[in-house]
Protein backbone atom coordinates (compact mmCIF):
# COMPACT_ATOMS: atom_id res chain seq x y z
CA UNK A 1 0.00 0.00 0.00
CA UNK A 2 1.14 3.49 -0.81
CA UNK A 3 -0.49 6.62 0.64
CA UNK A 4 -0.90 9.31 -2.01
CA UNK A 5 -2.03 12.92 -1.89
CA UNK A 6 -5.00 13.81 -4.07
CA UNK A 7 -2.80 15.21 -6.84
CA UNK A 8 -0.49 12.16 -6.78
CA UNK A 9 -3.50 9.79 -6.67
CA UNK A 10 -5.17 11.45 -9.67
CA UNK A 11 -1.97 11.77 -11.70
CA UNK A 12 -0.93 8.17 -11.15
CA UNK A 13 -4.47 6.81 -11.72
CA UNK A 14 -4.79 8.65 -15.04
CA UNK A 15 -1.54 7.08 -16.33
CA UNK A 16 -2.44 3.58 -15.10
CA UNK A 17 -4.22 1.44 -17.72
CA UNK A 18 -5.11 -1.10 -15.00
CA UNK A 19 -6.61 1.48 -12.61
CA UNK A 20 -9.74 0.61 -10.63
CA UNK A 21 -11.24 3.11 -8.17
CA UNK A 22 -12.62 1.50 -5.02
CA UNK A 23 -14.87 3.30 -2.51
CA UNK A 24 -15.01 1.47 0.85
CA UNK A 25 -17.44 3.84 2.64
CA UNK A 26 -20.88 2.98 3.99
CA UNK A 27 -24.04 3.20 1.88
CA UNK A 28 -25.05 6.35 3.78
CA UNK A 29 -21.74 8.04 2.96
CA UNK A 30 -21.92 6.99 -0.69
CA UNK A 31 -25.41 8.52 -0.93
CA UNK A 32 -23.70 11.92 -0.52
CA UNK A 33 -21.70 11.32 -3.71
CA UNK A 34 -19.02 9.05 -5.13
CA UNK A 35 -15.93 9.63 -7.26
CA UNK A 36 -16.96 8.95 -10.85
CA UNK A 37 -16.25 5.41 -12.00
CA UNK A 38 -15.71 4.02 -8.50
CA UNK A 39 -16.79 0.55 -7.42
CA UNK A 40 -18.45 0.58 -3.99
CA UNK A 41 -17.68 -2.17 -1.49
CA UNK A 42 -18.42 -1.27 2.17
CA UNK A 43 -15.47 -2.29 4.36
CA UNK A 44 -17.94 -2.71 7.26
CA UNK A 45 -19.61 -5.52 5.30
CA UNK A 46 -17.49 -8.15 7.09
CA UNK A 47 -17.48 -11.40 5.15
CA UNK A 48 -19.36 -9.75 2.27
CA UNK A 49 -16.45 -7.31 1.92
CA UNK A 50 -13.94 -10.18 1.81
CA UNK A 51 -16.09 -12.10 -0.67
CA UNK A 52 -16.36 -9.04 -2.91
CA UNK A 53 -12.57 -8.66 -2.86
CA UNK A 54 -12.28 -12.28 -4.01
CA UNK A 55 -14.28 -11.31 -7.12
CA UNK A 56 -11.79 -8.57 -8.09
CA UNK A 57 -8.81 -9.05 -10.41
CA UNK A 58 -5.76 -8.92 -8.12
CA UNK A 59 -3.49 -8.03 -11.07
CA UNK A 60 -5.16 -4.61 -11.42
CA UNK A 61 -4.17 -1.41 -9.59
CA UNK A 62 -6.64 -0.28 -6.92
CA UNK A 63 -7.06 3.37 -5.98
CA UNK A 64 -8.93 3.14 -2.68
CA UNK A 65 -10.69 5.84 -0.71
CA UNK A 66 -13.07 6.39 2.20
CA UNK A 67 -14.23 9.42 4.16
CA UNK A 68 -10.89 10.31 5.82
CA UNK A 69 -8.29 7.83 4.57
CA UNK A 70 -8.30 5.52 7.60
CA UNK A 71 -10.67 2.76 6.47
CA UNK A 72 -9.22 2.85 2.96
CA UNK A 73 -5.78 2.29 4.49
CA UNK A 74 -7.20 -0.72 6.34
CA UNK A 75 -8.82 -1.94 3.12
CA UNK A 76 -5.49 -1.67 1.29
CA UNK A 77 -3.80 -3.71 4.05
CA UNK A 78 -6.49 -6.40 3.80
CA UNK A 79 -6.17 -6.43 0.02
CA UNK A 80 -2.38 -6.74 0.29
CA UNK A 81 -2.81 -9.73 2.62
CA UNK A 82 -5.06 -11.31 -0.04
CA UNK A 83 -2.43 -10.96 -2.79
CA UNK A 84 -3.22 -7.53 -4.25
CA UNK A 85 0.16 -5.95 -4.93
CA UNK A 86 -0.88 -2.51 -6.25
CA UNK A 87 -3.07 -0.63 -3.76
CA UNK A 88 -3.03 3.14 -3.40
CA UNK A 89 -4.73 4.92 -0.50
CA UNK A 90 -6.16 8.42 -0.98
CA UNK A 91 -4.72 10.35 1.95
CA UNK A 92 -7.43 12.53 3.54
CA UNK A 93 -10.24 10.71 1.72
CA UNK A 94 -13.40 12.44 0.53
CA UNK A 95 -13.12 15.00 3.34
CA UNK A 96 -10.16 16.56 1.52
CA UNK A 97 -11.26 15.67 -2.04
CA UNK A 98 -11.34 18.74 -4.28
CA UNK A 99 -12.80 17.03 -7.35
CA UNK A 100 -16.41 16.38 -8.28
CA UNK A 101 -18.60 13.71 -6.73
CA UNK A 102 -21.47 12.10 -8.64
CA UNK A 103 -24.59 10.27 -7.51
CA UNK A 104 -24.22 6.51 -7.58
CA UNK A 105 -26.25 4.78 -10.28
CATH of domain 2-96: 3.40.250.10
Regarding beta strands 2-4 and 87-90, do their DSSP bridges make them parallel or antiparallel, or are they unpaired? parallel
Catalytic residue among 21, 53, 66, 94: 66
Positive or negative, the Cα torsion across 71, 72, 74, 75?
positive
Query: pLDDT tens for residues 30-66?
Result: 999 999 999 999 999 999 999 999 999 999 999 999 9
pTM above 0.75, yes or no: yes
**Range list of β-strands (E), 1-105:** 2-4, 19-23, 39-40, 61-65, 87-90
Contacts with 99 (C-beta within 8 Å, 6 or more apart), sequence order: 6, 10, 35
Residue boundaries of the structural domains of the chain: 2-96
76 flagged as catalytic:
no
Cα–Cα dist 99/35, whole Å: 8
Residues in a beta bridge with 90: 4
Query: How sure is the predictor about 11, in pLDDT bands with cuts at 50, 70 and 90?
Result: very high
Amino acid sequence: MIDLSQSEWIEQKEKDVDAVILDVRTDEEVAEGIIEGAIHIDIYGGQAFLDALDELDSSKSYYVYCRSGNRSGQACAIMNSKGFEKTYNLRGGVMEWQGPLVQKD
